Amino acid sequence: MSKPIIGDAAGAGGFRKPTGEESRALRAELEDFNAQYSLVLDEGDLQAWPEFFTEDAFYSVTARENFDHDMPVGLVHCEGKGMLKDRAFAIQHTAMFAPRYLRHYITNTLAIGVSDDGAVVARANYMVLETLHDDPTTHIHQAGSYHDIFARGEDGALLLRRRICVYDSLIIPTALVFPV
Amino acid sequence: MSKPIIGDAAGAGGFRKPTGEESRALRAELEDFNAQYSLVLDEGDLQAWPEFFTEDAFYSVTARENFDHDMPVGLVHCEGKGMLKDRAFAIQHTAMFAPRYLRHYITNTLAIGVSDDGAVVARANYMVLETLHDDPTTHIHQAGSYHDIFARGEDGALLLRRRICVYDSLIIPTALVFPV
Amino acid sequence: MSKPIIGDAAGAGGFRKPTGEESRALRAELEDFNAQYSLVLDEGDLQAWPEFFTEDAFYSVTARENFDHDMPVGLVHCEGKGMLKDRAFAIQHTAMFAPRYLRHYITNTLAIGVSDDGAVVARANYMVLETLHDDPTTHIHQAGSYHDIFARGEDGALLLRRRICVYDSLIIPTALVFPV
């Protein structure tokens, strides 16, 4: 898998750096998108989760150490919306795990590349807090950043063509079954 | 107390789902509001806190478990601005607690319903970090989400008609005396 | 050093309180700035960090206890872009510290003062999470708020003329070598 498109590299793949005005207009769209995405995950509505992606979407959750060294291995690796649906179904119907609440906090949203057909390269930092039902304390489950490429749906709304969730923690959380 | 107005249910009470453009315009207003609200609480200016609410406002802090089961019981329960003022006064003048700093982080702000008279149904995730004066570490005090209904003041600015703070933690923090 | 310019005091130094509309337009600019600033620090690109400041910039990291009592002492204290560059160079070339990932989360951004020449007084809450390479858990490294004054560069873009990072923790983190 290629490295994320950032800064000067934003020219790759038909992307150019957005102007200040474009960047600020895109921020509002990206923040709306990410807030809706998180709401679905925070409320455990996994069936709705794949609808944030394009049909040919790529989704993965990978350690920063691997990502920085261009190692394609990931904790989660989905190619195509079908695999996302399978994953959501599996979690809801077959996975065994202790009951918990997850809550997403997404900050530092930034459009770093745009193309003439409306696609957007974006970044954001995410933090997932976890509260287990049998433990009173809320703790940091995962901290990392989204490396995203958005396309446009038929109605012009943003859809994820690629979301790589790059987490800082070096030990794989054994309980990571939910999407990030 | 009724469940929060979300998604399809946004039609209830004269609310409809905002268009993408409305949603993005409201985001800026909501984020300004929440940043000012948090600033007042972070600086311990409790007297200013009730001014973010309408006269007939409802404010509560309740566990997610209770909220999800429509249990109206809450850790804090205020009906009307008078009760909010009483609470702020009591904390500043009578409460006994260890000195601490609190800091609010509000993310994932989202307008999910609007009405023709300018009212807004909104959500946001909040995290309150706490630093006790006799403990060097900063820890997560409370994580949860705001379930808000905003009205408009005479000057057109947003005012909270309802804020339900739904926290994920299952054990009630014994030191919860401050508003969230 | 003087106290931060907040609320009524925003009139000091030629600053006035922004209108609601101005405040919302500035929010987008401030959030873009802070997201780019954080991205540079999260990726360890310290050489790019001084470029967010004016030539005569003031930068400090200080405890809230000191700040609230007008004590100018700080953990970090830089006057002028030259000192910022020196600091960045020293960290990259001479400092000894355990390898770690840092990640910034900036929320509650708010413009509280504007002047006719485009300068802006602003606030934001920040949280820095730290993941040491030899420890699987991600923890809160520092929580606090930015007390900023922005000027405009020749291209009209925001530049920091002053950033005071006021942290809540009472014990100085011994490992604080990186900018916040």
Q: Choose among A108, A123, A168: nearest Cβ to C105.
A: A108
Residue count (chain A) = 180
Residue pair C106/C129 in contact (Cβ under 8 Å)? The answer is no
Cα-Cα-Cα-Cα torsion A153, A154, A155, A161, nearest 10 degrees, comes to: 0
Contact yes or no for C110 and B32 at CB 8 A: yes
Measured between beta carbons, which residues in chain A are less than 8 angstroms from residue C100?
A: none
Top-confidence residue, A94 or C127: C127
pLDDT in tens, A103-125: 999 999 999 999 999 999 999 99
pLDDT in tens, A4-54: 444 434 445 699 999 998 998 999 999 999 999 999 999 989 999 999 999
- How is residue A4 annotated by DSSP? P
CA pseudo-torsion sign C106, C69, B52, B5:
positive
**Is pLDDT of B9 > 60?**
no
pLDDT in tens, B107-163: 999 999 999 999 999 999 999 999 988 887 899 999 999 999 999 999 999 999 999
Q: The tokens 């005396």 sit on which residue?
A: B177
Residue A176 touches partner C, C-beta closer than 8 Å: no
Backbone φ, ψ for residue B66 (5° rounding): -65, -45
pLDDT in tens, C46-80: 999 999 999 999 999 998 988 988 887 777 889 99
Round to whole Å and give the CA distance between B30 and B148: 10
**Is pLDDT of B2 > 80?**
no
Residue count (chain B) = 180
Round to whole Å and give the CA distance between B17 and B12: 10
Identify the pLDDT of residue B6. Answer: 41
**Region of poorest pLDDT, from B44-48, C6-10, C56-60, C90-94:** C6-10
Contact yes or no for B145 and A42 at CB 8 A: yes
Residue C109 touches partner B, C-beta closer than 8 Å: yes
Residue C89 touches partner A, C-beta closer than 8 Å: no
Identify the pLDDT of residue C129. Answer: 94
Q: Which of C:49-88 have CB within 8 Å of A? A: none
Q: The tokens 């470029």 sit on which residue?
A: C51
Indicate the pLDDT class of residue B173, thresholds 50, 70 and 90: low
Residue pair C111/C120 in contact (Cβ under 8 Å)? The answer is yes
**Is pLDDT of B18 > 60?**
yes
SS (H, E, C) chain C: CCCCCCHHHHHHHHCECCCHHHHHHHHHHHHHHHHHHHHHHHCCCHHHHHHHEEEEEEEEEEEHHHHHCCCCCCCEEEECHHHHHHHHHHHHHCCCCCCEEEEEEEEEEEEEEECCCCCEEEEEEEEEEEEECCCCCEEEEEEEEEEEEEEECCCCCEEEEEEEEEECCCCCCCCCCCCC
Nearest to C64 by CA among A86, B43, A140: B43
**Is pLDDT of C96 > 70?**
no
- How is residue B22 annotated by DSSP? H
Identify the pLDDT of residue C70. Answer: 86
pLDDT in tens, C107-161: 999 999 999 999 999 999 999 999 988 887 899 999 999 999 999 999 999 999 9
CA pseudo-torsion sign C140, A130, B36, C57:
positive
Give the percent of chain B with pLDDT over 70.
Answer: 86
Top-confidence residue, A79 or A99: A79
- Helix (H) / strand (E) containing A34: helix A20-42
Cα-Cα end-to-end distance for chain B: 19
Complex ipTM value: 0.89
Nearest to B160 by CA among B130, B121, B109: B121
The tokens for B156 are: 């057109």
Identify the pLDDT of residue A176. Answer: 57
